[in-house]
């Protein structure tokens, strides 16, 4: 059994169409997300990325474990959806600031 920091646990449970107020509970206002070789900065950009990604390729992500690497928290998650090779395990690498997500890289 493992325990995720609150902001990370919230990230994995937020609906794809979460509004800015909901995202602000998990993400810092100038947070950055790197996914599929694209960068998204700020709550509006992150909201748009989430909505666009789920519209193109609906998926679910189930955390498998958590590893604290000092400046980063790595959460491997099984990602299952309508894409070739599904399911896959992707590392979600989080940086927290003030209890919220300041950076997320999905690889």
Please check the confidence at residue 103 and state whether its pLDDT lies above 80.
yes
pLDDT tens digit sequence for 57-85: 999 999 999 999 999 999 999 999 989 99
pLDDT tens digit sequence for 17-58: 899 999 999 999 999 999 999 999 999 999 999 999 999 999
Report the run of H or E that residue 94 belongs to, with start and end: strand 88-97
Q: How confident is the model at residue 96 (pLDDT cuts 50, 70, 90)?
A: very high
Q: Which residues, in sequence order, are CB contacts of 1 under 8 Å at separation 6+?
A: none
C-alpha span between 35 and 57 (Å, rounded): 14
C-alpha span between 58 and 72 (Å, rounded): 27
HSE-CB of 2 using CA atoms within 13 angstroms: 16
Q: How confident is the model at residue 1 (pLDDT cuts 50, 70, 90)?
A: confident
pTM of the model: 0.94
Residue ranges per structural domain of the chain: 6-106
CATH number of 6-106: 3.10.450.50
DSSP letter assigned to residue 98: T
Closest by Cα among 34, 33, 10 to 22: 10
């Amino acid at each position: 059994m493992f325990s995720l920091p609150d902001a990370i646990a919230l990230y994995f449970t937020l609906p794809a169409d979460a509004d800015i107020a909901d995202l602000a509970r998990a993400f810092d206002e100038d947070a950055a997300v790197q996914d599929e070789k694209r960068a998204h900065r700020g709550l509006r950009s992150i909201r748009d990325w989430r909505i666009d990604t789920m519209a193109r390729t609906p998926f679910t992500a189930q955390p498998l474990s958590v590893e604290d690497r000092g400046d980063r928290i790595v959460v491997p998650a099984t990602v299952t959806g309508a894409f070739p090779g599904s399911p896959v395990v992707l590392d979600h690498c989080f940086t927290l600031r003030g209890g919220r997500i300041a950076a997320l890289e999905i690889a």
